[in-house]
Amino acid sequence: MESAVYEPPWPEPSWQDRLEVWLEPFLEVLRHKAQRRWAPVYIAGLLGPGARKSVEPMAARVAPADVQQLHHFVSASPWDPAPLEEVLVRQADALVGGPDAVLVIDDTALVKQGRASVGVARQYCGQLGKTANCQVLVSLTLARCEVPVCVALRLFLPSAWAADAARRDAAGVPAAVPARPKWQVALDELDRVRAAGAGFGCVLADAEYGKAAAFRQGLEARGLRWALGILPTQHVYPADVSAAPAPARATGRPRKRPVPSARSRSAADTIAALPEDAFRPVSWRQGTKGPLSVEFVAQRVRVADGPPTRDGRHLPGQTAWLVCERRANGERKYYLANHPDDTPLETLAADIKARWVCEQGHQQMKEELGLDHFEGRSWRGLHHHALLTMMALCFLQSLRLGEKIGGANGPALRPTSKPTVPVGVTPGGAAPDAHAAAGPAADH
The string of DSSP codes covering 298-342 is EEEEEES-SSB-TTS-B----EEEEEEEE-TTS-EEEEEE---TT
Q: What's the Cα-to-Cα distance from 2 to each of 5, 6, 7, rounded to whole Å?
A: 9, 12, 15
Report DSSP state, residue 443: G
For helices 55-62 and 67-75, give the axis angle rounded to 10 degrees.
130
Report DSSP state, residue 98: S
Q: Of 431, 304, 372, 379, which is closest to residue 51 (Cα–Cα)?
A: 372
Q: What's the Cα-to-Cα distance from 397 to each of 326, 413, 430, rounded to whole Å?
A: 33, 16, 10
Residue 304 region, left (φ>0) first, then alpha (ψ -120 to 50), else beta?
beta
Burial bucket for residue 309 (CB in 10 Å: 0-12, 13-18, 19+): middle
Q: Of 132, 70, 91, which is closest to residue 374 (Cα–Cα)?
A: 70
Report DSSP state, residue 372: G
- 10-residue stretch averages of pLDDT, the chain, 444 residues long: 59 86 96 94 94 92 92 95 98 96 97 91 88 96 96 96 93 93 98 98 97 97 98 97 70 68 95 94 80 92 90 89 94 97 96 94 96 95 98 96 50 42 52 34 41
Pairing of strands 202-205, 102-111: parallel
Q: Of 245, 219, 223, 246, which is closest to residue 305 (Cα–Cα)?
A: 219
Residues 180, 172: Cα–Cα separation, whole Å:
17
pLDDT recorded at residue 17: 92
Pairing of strands 226-230, 202-205: parallel
Residues 393, 370: Cα–Cα separation, whole Å:
11
Q: What's the Cα-to-Cα distance from 5 to each of 8, 14, 242, 361, rounded to whole Å?
A: 10, 22, 75, 38
Residue 17 region, left (φ>0) first, then alpha (ψ -120 to 50), else beta?
alpha
For helices 33-47 and 15-22, give the axis angle rounded to 10 degrees.
140
Q: Which residues of 356-368 are buried (b: 16+ CB within 10 A; e: fewer)?
A: bbbbbbbbbbbeb
| 108, β-bridge pairs | 137
- The 3-state DSSP class for residue 280 equals strand
In this structure, are residues 302 and 198 in contact, taking their beta carbons and an 8 Å threshold? no
Residues 222, 301: Cα–Cα separation, whole Å:
21
Alpha helices in 54-181, H assignment, sequence order: 55-62, 67-75, 82-96, 159-162, 165-171
pLDDT recorded at residue 276: 86
